[in-house]
Amino acid sequence: MSSFGLSPVAPAVKLMCRLRLTGKMLCVAVPLLGALLGAYLAALGVGDAGITQVLLGTSLTLLALAGYLALGFHASFGKRLAELHDGVKIVSAGDLSHKIEIAGTDELALIGALVEAMNGRLSTMVAEIRSSAARVGMSGEQVAHSSQELSQRTDQQAGSVRQAVDTVQNLAQAVAANANAAGELDALTERLKARAESGGAAMRHSVEAMSGLEDSSKRVGEIIGVIDGIAFQTNILALNAAVEAARAGEAGRGFAVVAAEVRQLAQRSASAAAEIRQLIARSSEQVDGSVRQTREVGRSLDELVDGVRTVSQALRSIAQASARQRDDLQQVSTSVASLDEITRRNAEMVDVSQGASHDLVARAKTLTSAVANIRLRQGSADEARALVVRAVELVKQRGVHGASEQLHSRQAGFVDRDLYIFIVDRQGYYRLHGSKPATEGKRVHEISGIDGDKFVRDAWAAAPGEGGWVEYDIVNLETGAVQPKASFVVQINDQQLLGCGIYRQTDKTPTAAA
C-alpha cells in the first residue's frame, strides 16, 4: 500500500483497507444512491430552479464521492489481491520462506493472514518431516553400517563355529578310536595278566619242586654219610681182621687175603662215597642257587603280575573314561551343530535387517528428495548437517581463527535463517557463535532455557568420530521463546566441538525467554 502514499486516492484506499466488505459497499452505494435520488428529484422539477440547482450539485458531488470511493475500493482490493496472488504463487512454487503481508483489517487482509499462518505452519511441518526423514536416513545408514559389521562378524563367527564343529567331530572320532584302542589294549592286558598269573603259578610249582629236589639231595647226602660210615667201619674191621690173620700165621693167610680185599673194597667205597658227597655237595649248591634264583624269578613274576594287574585296571579306567569322553564329545558336537544352525539363522536375520536398513535409507532419501526443493522458513536436519560438514572442512583448511569471519557471514551461507555455526569447548564456553557474536566467551549455562551441564555432557558424548545429534531446550534467537532444539555436533580437536542446530516444534506452547 506504500505505492498509494502520495496518491490522491490514498485516503480512500486506507479507508477501504480498514472496512469490511459490507462497509465498503455501503460507502460506495450510499453516495451513489444519494446522487441518483437528487438527479431523480431534479428531473421531477421539485421546487424552484434554485432547489433544482442544489439537487443537481449535490447529486454530482455524491456521484463524484461514490466514484472516488469506488476507485479507492478498486485500487485497494486489486493491489492487495495481486499481492496475495503473487504470494500464493510463490508459495505454490515451493518457497515457503516467502511471507505474505496484506495490509488492513478487512476480509482480504484476514485471508492473507490465514494464508500466512498456513504457510508458517506448513513450513514447520515440512521442516519437521524433512528433518525427521534426514535423521531417519542418518540413523538408517548407521544401522546399515552396523548391520554390515554385524554380518561380517556373524560370518566370521559362523566360520569359527563350523571350524569348531569340524574340530569337535575330529576330536570325537579320535577319542572314539582311542576308546576302541584302549578297549582292545585292555582285553590284551587282561590276557597278558592271565598268562602272567599262570606263569607265576607254574613258577611257584617249580620252586616247590626245586625245594623237594633240595630235600632229596639232603637225604642222599645223609645216605652217603651212612655209606661212608659203613665203609669206614668196614675198613677198620678189615684192618683188625688183617691183624688177627697175621697173628694166626699160615692158618690165617687166606683170611688175611680176604681182609685185604675187603679193606680195598671199603677204601674204594669210601673214595666213591667221598666223590658222591662232593657231587652231592656241588649239586646241593647248584640246587640252592637254582632255588634262590627261582624264588627271585617267582618274586619278580609276582611283581610283574601285580604290575600287569595295575596296568590292566588303569587301562580299563582309561577305556571307560574314553568312552565317557566319546559320549560327552558327541553331545558337544550336537550342541555345537545346533549353535552353528543358530548362527546361520542369525546371519540370515542380519542380512534381512541389513536389507531393511538399506530400504529404510532409500525411502528416507526419497522422502527427503521430495521436500528438498521446498524453501523453508527454518532450517532442517539435512541442511544443519551439511552446514556442519562445510564448516568442518573450512576449519581444517584455515583453523578456527582463520575461518571465523566466514562462519559469521550470511553471504557465505554459514548464517541462514535460524541456522548458524557454533563452537563450544569442554567447559561449555562459546568459542564461536555465528548468529550472535556477543555470546562468544560466555558459557552455555548462561543461555536461557538450557541445562548447560547436560548439554556439554551429551554433546561431547555424541561428537567423537563422525559426529552425532544432541537434543536440548534453548531460547530461539528469532522468537525469544524457549524451544526444543537438535544439533549435529562434530569434535574438531581435543578441546572444541563444532555444531549447528534446528529448532523443533512441539504441542507445548513456547515459553518466552526471560
DSSP labels, 407-470:
HT-TTTTSEETTEEEEEEETT-BEEEESS-GGGTTSBGGGSTT--HHHHHHHHHHHSSTT-EEE
Q: For residue 463, is pLDDT > 80?
A: yes
Cell 485500487, residue? 75
Which of 211-225, 373-387, 425-439, 475-489 is predicted with the least confidence, judged by mean pLDDT?
211-225
Contact 112, 100 (CB under 8 A): yes
Residues 6+ apart with CB under 8 A from 173: none
Average pLDDT over residues 20-34: 74
Does position 430 have pLDDT exceeding 90, yes or no? yes
Burial class for 438, CB neighbours closer than 10 Å (0-12, 13-18, 19+): exposed
Which H or E element spans position 71? helix 49-92
Work out the pLDDT band at 456, boundaries 50, 70, 90. Answer: very high
Query: Shortest CA distance to 394 belongs to which of 288, 490, 508?
Result: 490
Flag whether pLDDT at 140 surpasses 90.
Answer: no
pLDDT value, residue 511: 40
Residue 287 CB neighbour total at 10 angstroms = 20
> Cell 538408517 appears where?
140
> With bands split at pLDDT 50, 70 and 90, how would you rate the model's confidence at 103?
confident
* Res 145: pLDDT: 66
Which one is predicted more confidently, 380 or 406? 406
CA 120-487-497 angle, 5° bins: 150
Most confident among 128-132, 300-304, 362-366, 378-382 (mean pLDDT): 378-382
Which is nearest to 135 in space by CA: 381, 312, 462, 451?
381
Does residue 291 contact residue 218 with C-beta atoms inside 8 Å? no
Binning pLDDT at 50, 70 and 90, where does residue 331 land?
A: confident
- Whether 447 has a pLDDT exceeding 50, the answer reads yes
**Angle, nearest 10°, between helix axes 381-407 and 107-248?**
100
- Its pTM stands at 0.51
In this predicted structure, the answer to whether residue 512 has a pLDDT above a threshold of 60 is no
Helix (H) or strand (E) holding 326: helix 253-372
Residue 509 banded pLDDT, cuts 50, 70, 90: very low
Most confident among 61-65, 296-300, 327-331, 462-466 (mean pLDDT): 462-466
Query: What's the pLDDT at 458?
Result: 95
Determine the average pLDDT of the residues in 220-235. Answer: 72
Position with higher pLDDT, 361 vs 478: 478
User: Which pLDDT does position 28 carry in this prediction?
Assistant: 72
Rg (CA), the chain: 65
pLDDT at 498 over 80: yes
Q: What is the mean pLDDT of residues 403-429?
A: 93
Mean pLDDT for the chain?
A: 75
3-state secondary structure of 481: strand
Q: Are 130 and 371 a contacting pair, CB within 8 Å?
A: yes
Q: State yes or no: pLDDT of 183 exceeds 80.
A: no
Distance CA 237, CA 242 (A): 9
Run of H or E residues at 501: strand 496-503
Give the separation between CA 34 and CA 37, rounded to whole angstroms.
5
Which residue carries 661212608 as its cell? 228
